Structure 1
């Protein structure tokens, strides 16, 4: 009984092992290849699958998710003979599990070596300035070349990027000095442009000021001419009125006219800055007579407007009396 029980337990354990070996569960993002007596037959997708015991087995377990591979750092000589150190990263995704499993050995190493050789070829065909300024162009060229090479392996290159690019220290120092000189040159040009614009603006301001001043002088001259014309018209009107008064026989008009001119001449003589001494005649009777004539003219102005009296006798000027007084110095 014990022997039979042990044999039954052994057969049960073997059957359980066979059943568990025939059931395969493929996780998401993975694919398994199935081999029958060492030959590839099919690819298992994510999920549960039953295999034929002792006949079929899992060959390769392939990662179908996008993967990142690092391209090792290497020294590359550019077209202008400058040694630079370059490394990068490659993003790949397996599209065909069978091709990736059976058409290339060590897929990751193969892609890394392929990226290194093509990176050396592309960078070596360009000058240092182009390498530093055209990374996108380098990435696109590498992507086209490596993608075509890995197509038969069932791999799709999503993108490739240059991670770091280091020129020699002396080249880096020279580039820093060049950049500094370029910045200083731009600063000088910008400052010169600013000074130029400021000079142009100042010149425009002076031009506008000169134009406005000329227009002001022209307007002032026009106003002065108009004022002189008005003064001349007023003078002519006054002369005409005095002439009419003289023609009408009014002696006070003559006295007013003479007194006005006398006073104006005397005022101009007194206002002269070089004249410190003014000579005035001692006989002031004529001036007093002229002023009295002005007062009489002002008194008779309303009567003149209304009309002179019909029988107003004319008065002759009073004769001068008294001895002549010599002129005195004021």
Structure 2
């Protein structure tokens, strides 16, 4: 019987030694080693051997980055508005021994530290600043908490405000304010568009007036030029006729008489009060006058380069 118990004791002792002496540390973890209850060293990921009956594993520390949820709490802002706020904290243990022996219940300690500083930061700001400056709140919280957790061997990577909930009446007031602001911007935009439209119309009218004035000036200039040329032509014609009259040419006299005759008869025909136009009995004599005028024109046309042809005397019209 004794011979049977001895091997069992030896096997049990071997298993005990294997379990308590050979330690395998997984990746992302670190184990602290205690010798008679006192910290001596830290085991890194891999296999390690402890001194039997002397050394033991103290704390198993997670070295990976962890997400810590900060519970929601009510915070009173600087302008006495109560808001509900919560956050999340990203932490990573950098020194396993400090995290294991410098603070008890590391996660709870960081949670309480985040809640306290969150109340401090949000309470020092007004509601509008809290709602619009989340990045600033995150930065201030990160700086404060990271500085406080440094002695614990913990690095705070990020802090994010997850939710900010103001009271319902404040939310409704903000919605009305936003609506009023948008309506004000719409009115300003519409007024600005109307202003630009009026400016464009005024500019168009200005350009139109300028173009019309330039057109009238050009037309007046051309009218004046036409009248000048007409006056020059009339002066030349008068000079030729006067010269012909001075030489005793009766056709010249007939020219003036026929011109006045035709003008007077035309005015009589165009008169709005004249319902009946009476043709003179000697109107046929106007034919001879016109013929005399034609001869005079031929005479004046040949005055530049040759001898003027003889113009037979034309009988003036009756009553002329």
Would the TM-score normalized by the shorter structure come out above 0.5? Answer: yes
Counterpart-to-counterpart distance in 1, 2:81 and 2:206:
58
Counterpart-to-counterpart distance in 1, 2:290 and 2:139:
113
Counterpart-to-counterpart distance in 1, 2:121 and 2:251:
119
For residues 183-203 of structure 1, what are the alpha-carbon distances to aligned partners after superposition, in whole Å with 9 as ceiling and x for unaligned? 111111111111111112211
Counterpart-to-counterpart distance in 1, 2:151 and 2:302:
134
Bigger mean CA deviation after superposition, 164-173 or 268-277: 268-277
Counterpart-to-counterpart distance in 2, 1:129 and 1:44:
50
SS at match of 1:162: strand
Give the structure 2 partner of residue 148 of structure 1. 147
Give the structure 2 partner of residue 307 of structure 1. 307
Counterpart-to-counterpart distance in 2, 1:183 and 1:61:
58
1:160 is displaced (CA, Å) by 0.8
Give the structure 2 partner of residue 33 of structure 1. 32
Counterpart-to-counterpart distance in 1, 2:298 and 2:175:
102
SS at match of 2:289: helix
Cα 1:297–1:21 shift into 2, 3 Å: same
SS at match of 2:281: coil
Counterpart-to-counterpart distance in 1, 2:317 and 2:77:
126
Counterpart-to-counterpart distance in 1, 2:317 and 2:216:
54
1:258 aligns with 2:257: yes
1:50 aligns with 2:49: yes
What is the count of residue pairs matched by the alignment? 318
Give the structure 1 partner of residue 238 of structure 2. 239
Alignment of 1:60-79 (within 5 A): 60-79=59-78
Counterpart-to-counterpart distance in 1, 2:293 and 2:316:
19
SS at match of 1:291: helix
1:185 aligns with 2:160: no
Give the structure 2 partner of residue 327 of structure 1. none
Alignment of 1:177-216 (within 5 A): 177-216=176-215
SS at match of 1:278: coil
SS at match of 1:284: helix
Bigger mean CA deviation after superposition, 274-283 or 25-34: 274-283
How does the TM-score come out when normalised to structure 2?
A: 0.91
1:299 is displaced (CA, Å) by 6.4
Give the structure 2 partner of residue 116 of structure 1. 115
Give the structure 2 partner of residue 87 of structure 1. 86
1:134 aligns with 2:133: yes
The answer (yes or no) to whether the contact 2:65–2:93 under 8 Å persists in 1 is yes
Counterpart-to-counterpart distance in 2, 1:69 and 1:100:
15
Counterpart-to-counterpart distance in 2, 1:42 and 1:188:
73
Counterpart-to-counterpart distance in 2, 1:190 and 1:280:
76
1:12 is displaced (CA, Å) by 3.0
Structure 1: unaligned runs, 5 residues or longer: 325-330
Bigger mean CA deviation after superposition, 235-244 or 116-125: 235-244
Cα 1:318–1:244 shift into 2, 3 Å: closer
How does the TM-score come out when normalised to structure 1?
A: 0.88
Counterpart-to-counterpart distance in 1, 2:290 and 2:114:
123
